Chains A and B, each alone.
Chain A
Amino acid sequence: MRLDKTELALVGLAVVLMLAGTLAAPGWLIFLITVALAKALVVQGVVMQMKAGLVSFGQGLFYCVGGYAVGMGGQFLGLNAGLVLLALGVIAAVVLAMVLGLLLTRYREIFFAMLSLAFSMILYGVLVKSQELGSTDGFNVKAWTLLGRTIEGGEQATHTVFILTVLTAATVAFILHRFYRSAMGMTCEAIRENEVRVEFLGLSPRWINYANYVAAAAVSALGGGLTALATGHVDPDMAYWTTSGEFVFIALLGGTGSVFAPFLAAIVFALVRTYAIEFLPNAWQMILGFTLLGIVVFLPKGLWSLFTRRAVAPVPSSSPTNARTGGVRA
């Protein structure tokens, strides 16, 4: 298997992160990065759909499903193997997405955004009203095991979840990187550019969107499950629409330029938020709002474009043949 530059960087970064995290970093920072990476997986789900031109304002649905599957698996099914719990969340999300996708893939643009938001609010409404699941308070995740070892609280647990999250995130990013360059991944971008033309080429945008939606749900559920394991708690706010809004925010902050972008953006977001809440508790949303406006206006391709701008700039402006045939987008 030949690895390209991004993939090598991915492997290297994961190794460095795990070493630095377990050996040197303070506990609170490890925890912050763990949760940020887990949330970044949900953001990867948002980005997957953004690449196909769809903005999901309801990705919190699968985040919540993944999290609650981990919590409920321990509570009601007596499962305690961490990997099984994560898998349970992914399966639940995939099944749910396969049903909802049938309806959602008929919609585009704001209708898609609103309908996905409505679905996640339905789950929120159900969870808030279910007493046995702790209503608005949610409930705690039971003690779990990883490959036979029981994960107790304290530093050992923090480190274990951290390594599990880094490994999962790196694996998912690796697969996504390959997916984006596969025929289907490329078609997703083509759908964003012009759906009708894709249809005329004999492909079905609807089914490609469907597959993409289901895959995005699986990735997001993984993020939700890891968050539940890391924080040890789940509550209905995971499905509230502002949570989904946060994921859209992080997706735009990073941009869709690279699989690294959501991770970078999620960590920047978590750090900024931690300090902003510390120093300006009543103004941090306002800071986020202005940042979002700034990104939309000045950095429409996200933070990641700061790194790639130089590579894109030298494309000759005077190449009419290339332009007329559509060319290859960098």
Chain B
Amino acid sequence: MLSFLAVLIDGTIYASWLFLVAAGLTVIYGVMRILNMAHGSFYAIGAYAAASAIGWYFADGTGSAGVSFLILIGAALVAGLVVGTLVERGLLRFMYGRDETLMVIITYALLLILEDAMKIVFGVNPYFAYQPYTALGRSTIAGLKVSNYDLVLIGIAVAVGLALWGWLERTNLGKILRAVIHDREVARAMGVNVRRMFTLTFLIGTTLGALAGALTAPSISVVPGIGVEVIVLAFAVVVVGGMGSIEGAAVGALLLGLSRAAAVHFAPQFELFVIYGVMSLVLAIRPQGLFGRTLVRKI
């Protein structure tokens, strides 16, 4: 019973993290039809920015947890917006309209560039930003010690999910975006500035990626290569849920998060295997993912 509860708690924490990481990826794919291989790099950039900012804030050894949270989020916003703008204005806008597979390769090139850019800017030594994590302490749920920071993470993931959903479903701008998702050409014919929507979406996506990285930074050591590890997990979530679907990403994250937590507790040798195993299983049964739309083939 206790281990069942542990799986539930660990799984939910891991799922919220997965959702935060995957949300930006699925938003970008949904609107722009770009499978952004460089998404992990935005995650890493967010983590580095947050770790640097936290290190600077706690440089004299004191500081409050509340302010450090604001710093985390602020660092993510700045990093995501600045790098996102640079990438979108400087590279991607010249590539719009190309084949989806080619866009994968272009963003792969972007990933290679950003990986080394980070090494040059931040160096190769690890960064630590543990202060917000330790400052919040732990609480006990039914005999299990759980870090409060992880519980806050669950709250943030839910908030981000609801905000995205509300924005897409309940606002005018969201409605316009859904029109672009549904049919780009018709939306353009109706007077939607599709390119501006692309810029907006890309910035939101990169900022979400950076936010995920910034919020993860306190619980890991920030080293080169963290983005490369994360991107395949984010892919798995998005593919399971159905590419471009927010609800799908949430369900996919929960499914994968709980499966992984179960694997960690009951069969640790299958920890990595289980995520891709579940992904392959879902795709074998529903090729378009749980919430994906089937596409009609055009001649």
Contact = CB atoms under 8 A, between A and B. Distances in A.
Interface of A: 55, 57, 103, 106-107, 109-111, 113-115, 117-119, 121-122, 124-126, 128-130, 194-197, 241-242, 245, 248-249, 252, 282-286, 288-290, 292-293, 296
Interface string B264-276: 0000111111011
B113 A290 contact: yes
Contacts of B110: 289, 293
Q: Binding site of A, secondary structure by majority: helix, strand, loop or mixed? A: helix
Nearest to B34: A110
B106 interface: yes
B163 interface: no
Interface of B: 35, 91, 100-102, 104-106, 108-117, 119-120, 124, 228, 232, 235-236, 239, 243, 268-273, 275-277, 279-280, 283-284, 287, 297-299
A41 B102 CA distance: 23
A125 B108 contact: no
Contacts of A293: 91, 106, 109-110
B100 A109 contact: yes
Given A122-B277, A129-B270, A107 B287 contact: yes
B113 A118 contact: no
Nearest to B275: A125
Contacts of A241: 232
A144 to B, nearest CB: 30
| Residue from B102, B232, B297 with most neighbouring chain A CB atoms (10 Å) | B232
B283 A115 contact: yes
A296 B299 contact: no
Contacts, number: 120
Contacts of A126: 272-273
A251 B230 CA distance: 25
Nearest to B109: A292
B279 A118 contact: yes
Given A114-B35, A122-B277, A289-B110, A283 B272 contact: no
A117 B235 contact: yes
A19 B2 CA distance: 69
Contacts of B119: 282-283
Given A125-B270, A286-B117, 14 more contacts: A103-B280, A110-B104, A114-B239, A117-B232, A117-B235, A125-B276, A128-B272, A129-B272, A248-B105, A286-B112, A286-B115, A286-B116, A289-B113, A292-B108
A129 B116 contact: no
A55 B275 CA distance: 22
B102 A115 contact: no
B272 A289 contact: no
Contacts of B105: 55, 248, 252, 292, 296
A292 B35 CA distance: 17
| Residue from A55, A109, A124, A289 with most neighbouring chain B CB atoms (10 Å) | A289
Contacts of A125: 270-273, 275-276
Contact of A282 (B116, B269, B272, B298): B116
Contacts of B108: 245, 248-249, 292
A118 B299 contact: no
B109 A119 contact: no
Contact of A113 (B91, B101, B116, B228): B101
8 contacts: A109-B101, A111-B287, A125-B273, A129-B272, A286-B112, A286-B113, A289-B110, A289-B112
B124 A296 contact: no
A103 B299 contact: no
| Residue from B108, B111, B112, B236 with most neighbouring chain A CB atoms (10 Å) | B112
B271 A129 contact: yes
A290 B109 contact: yes
Nearest to A292: B109
A124 B117 CA distance: 27
Contacts of A114: 35, 235, 239
Contact of A122 (B112, B235, B276): B276
B116 to A, nearest CB: 4
Contacts of A285: 112-113, 115-116
B54 to A, nearest CB: 24
Given A126-B273, A285-B113, A286-B116, A194 B280 contact: no
Contacts of B276: 118-119, 121-122, 125
A284 B280 contact: no
A75 B243 CA distance: 43
A196 B272 contact: no
A304 B109 CA distance: 20
A254 B105 CA distance: 15
Nearest to B99: A109
Contacts of B111: 289
A296 B109 CA distance: 10
